[in-house]
Amino acid sequence: MESEREPQPFDPGLTQRYTGTLRRIVNRDGTFNVRRRGTRLVDFHLYQFLIGLSWPAFIGLVVATFLVVSLVFAIVYSLTGSNGLQGITGVSRWEIFLNELFFSVQTITTVGYGVIAPRSILDNAVAGLEAMMGVMGFAFGAALLYGRFSRPTARIQFSAHAVIAPYRGGSSLQIRVANPRSNALVDLEATLVLMLVEGEKSSQRRSYVKLALERSSIYFLPLTWTIVHPIIEGSPLFGKDPAELAATAAEILVLVRGFDDAFSQVVNARYSYRHDEILWERKFTPAFHTDESGHLVLDLAKLNDMEEASITVEHV
């Protein structure tokens, strides 16, 4: 009779191996702290890369690409000789090159004012190639813009710190989230995982424990949601203090998933809190109020507002 296999420890997909010093598992922007090496050229996906860029980086790359391509073709026109383009004005070589650069810009954008025109067969061929690249480039750029605008992304805002707050005569770990956008997020679910580094230095391993929540899901998120893990007997945080969490390099991993009503798609957001980002004996103060006309007003600037809250030692 085969012996029963030992149950494998819980691993959310972040490996239990631990060597050296690790900054954190999840970065502040929600990305995983993983750097890939040894990737092949065939593994690179240009569209995915451009879709994932931040807006400043994307706009900067588009402008830089436009200028570089225009400049390259202007140099080609310059190398074809002075008789290649007609209508160029200017005496110095710099003025002539500027005219060639402006013609390159007009050609790649298919504007074609008609002041400068190609004369030779070679310049006509180069201008045709540039015009084709311009049409294809702007079509690709339009597809990228559509993809970036149509891609559903959750902009869930997390509190800057997690807190250990009073809770029903004991204590609890609390994290507050809000939706800064006006779109409706429904059917939200939250998952909290505690990561600890355990064992001797020669054989340290990471362990993961899924934290039980007071309320793991809500129907709507028009205001704030305080995610609460009661620290009761059986909780991996029960009886722990800041020094013990620091000794085990504790990190709270947060995953919030919901349904975006505007895009009709599921979206998710990630965040994490290291042991030094957990404040003890604090509690969040309300971030919304009712105005004189009876409307609820959410003040996102108060998402991180909190106050001191004493907890009896035997319950921490």
* pLDDT, greater one: 231 or 46: 231
Total domains in the chain come to 2
**Token pair for residue 222?**
């028009």
Q: Which pLDDT score is estimated for 1?
A: 43
Both 89 and 66 in one domain: the answer is yes
CB neighbours (10 Å) of residue 7? 6
Of 84, 115, 150, the one marking the end of a domain is 150
Of 97, 126, 150, the one marking the end of a domain is 150
**Token pair for residue 177?**
């989230």
> Of the segments 84-88, 227-231, 246-250, 267-271, which one has the largest average pLDDT value?
227-231
Both 180 and 301 in one domain: the answer is yes
**Inside any domain, residue 36:** no
CATH of the domain at 107: 1.10.287.70
Distance, CA of 107 to chain centre: 37
Both 146 and 220 in one domain: the answer is no
**Inside any domain, residue 225:** yes
Q: Which pLDDT score is estimated for 70?
A: 95
316 falls in which pLDDT band (50, 70, 90)?
Answer: very low
Question: Which residue is it, tokens 């997390």?
Answer: 158
pLDDT over 80 at 42, yes or no: no
Both 184 and 254 in one domain: the answer is yes
Both 66 and 197 in one domain: the answer is no
**Inside any domain, residue 61:** yes
pLDDT over 90 at 109, yes or no: yes
Both 162 and 109 in one domain: the answer is no
Of 101, 120, 150, the one marking the end of a domain is 150
Question: Which residue is it, tokens 């060597």?
Answer: 19
Single-letter amino acid code for the residue at 182: S
Read off the pLDDT of residues 304-314 as tens digits, 9 standing for 90 and up: 999 999 886 45
**Inside any domain, residue 2:** no
Domain of 110?
41-150
Both 66 and 108 in one domain: the answer is yes
81 falls in which pLDDT band (50, 70, 90)?
Answer: confident
Both 164 and 309 in one domain: the answer is yes
Both 136 and 263 in one domain: the answer is no
What is the value of pTM for the model shown?
A: 0.72
d(CA 276, CA 291): 37
Nearest residue to 206 (alpha-carbon basis) of 33, 10, 9, 18: 18
d(CA 71, CA 130): 11
d(CA 227, CA 258): 14
**Inside any domain, residue 32:** no
Burial class (CB in 10 A: 0-12, 13-18, 19+), 286: exposed
Mean pLDDT of the region 279-283? 94
CA dihedral sign of residues 29, 33, 36, 37: positive
Both 290 and 168 in one domain: the answer is yes
**Token pair for residue 90?**
């200017």
d(CA 69, CA 27): 36
Read off the pLDDT of residues 154-189 as tens digits, 9 standing for 90 and up: 688 999 999 999 998 899 999 999 999 888 899 999
Lowest mean pLDDT among 146-155, 172-181, 223-232: 146-155
Share of the chain above pLDDT 90, in %: 54
Give helix then strand counts, H and E, for the chain.
Answer: 5, 16
Q: Which pLDDT score is estimated for 115?
A: 87
Both 83 and 127 in one domain: the answer is yes
pLDDT over 80 at 300, yes or no: yes
Local structure of residue 135 (DSSP, 8 states)? H
11 falls in which pLDDT band (50, 70, 90)?
Answer: low
